[in-house]
Chains A and B, each alone.
Chain A
């Protein structure tokens, strides 16, 4: 690069070759069509997706909360012997005091059919 202005001039020339002052004819029509497609629904009062989801949540949330509360109260009322309130609230079963091993859980200590025969 000999002189910055020479470089700039050549670059300007090269980039200028592909530069256009306008887009292809009918650009305003195409842009307006895209704009129309995107905003026609909104202009008619249809809510956007996020607003629709928010509205749905506001409607459903109180019922969901009330149902969860009723279920929890019911669980606490009918809690079993030795079941803590926290476990009853979430509907978890009471834990038995008998220690368990993996062999018992997976039934590994039970005799197989072939052994029985």
Chain B
């Protein structure tokens, strides 16, 4: 009896697949939804925080990404990796937020106020020295000045080190568009930063 018990305790069930968890979550199983979130949080957080900077917006987009996945579950048929699918949703939602921010900043500039200091502060909180912080700050601001679609390409191609093909698939554009957007983004950064950007 003891032998049987010890054998039973040694056998661990394999982790349920993403599709299985999705199916369960669709049936209202909250632990299954939580497992999905915990399993893919890192992938989503990396892209979203790179696009938006850490903060409430990023958190909100992260939550919405997982809820959208569930809302659009009929679109996900398991032929693509769930992580890829989530990344696509996260990038699209982040682009929406960037567009909204751009509109708001235009309005704030008109009204003479600016309230995005928290993002800048958060982006530089890891810098080791004031000089590093200043340099990163300048570059970060320049990257922030890029519009959403160019920024998405910079994040996916350069920061996430994804291939041109992957990036194109994620953004739903041809590979040539990814390459031209990247070239244009780098050219814009050069214009914005001038001698700061070697």
**Which A residues fall within an 8 A CB radius of B?**
1-2, 4, 6-8, 10-24, 27-28, 30-32, 34-36, 38-39, 43
Q: Tell me, yes or no, whether B30 is within 8 Å of chain A by CB.
A: yes
Jot down 30 A-B pairs with beta carbons below 8 A, ordered by A: A6-B198, A7-B186, A8-B158, A11-B143, A11-B154, A11-B158, A14-B143, A15-B154, A15-B158, A17-B123, A17-B136, A18-B123, A19-B46, A19-B50, A19-B159, A21-B42, A23-B45, A23-B62, A27-B62, A28-B38, A28-B41, A31-B33, A31-B34, A31-B62, A31-B66, A31-B67, A32-B37, A35-B67, A38-B67, A39-B70
Residues in chain A near residue B119, CB distance under 8 A: 18
Inter-chain pairs besides A7-B186, A31-B34, 13 sampled, C-beta below 8 Å: A2-B198, A7-B189, A14-B143, A17-B123, A17-B126, A17-B127, A18-B54, A21-B46, A23-B49, A31-B33, A31-B66, A35-B66, A39-B70
Kindly list chain B residues whose C-beta atoms are within 8 Å of the C-beta of A43.
27-28
Q: B97 near A: Cβ within 8 Å?
A: no
| Interchain CB contact under 8 A, A35 and B159 | no
Q: Does the CB pair B124–A17 fall under 8 Å?
A: yes
On chain A, the residues within 8 Å of B143 by CB distance are: 11, 14-15
**Interface residue? B139 (CB, 8 A):** yes
Q: Which residues of B sit under 8 angstroms from A15, Cβ to Cβ? A: 50, 140, 143, 154-155, 158-159
Task: Indicate if the CB atoms of B54 and A11 lie closer than 8 Å.
Answer: no
Cα distance, A43 to B186, chains bound together (Å)? 48
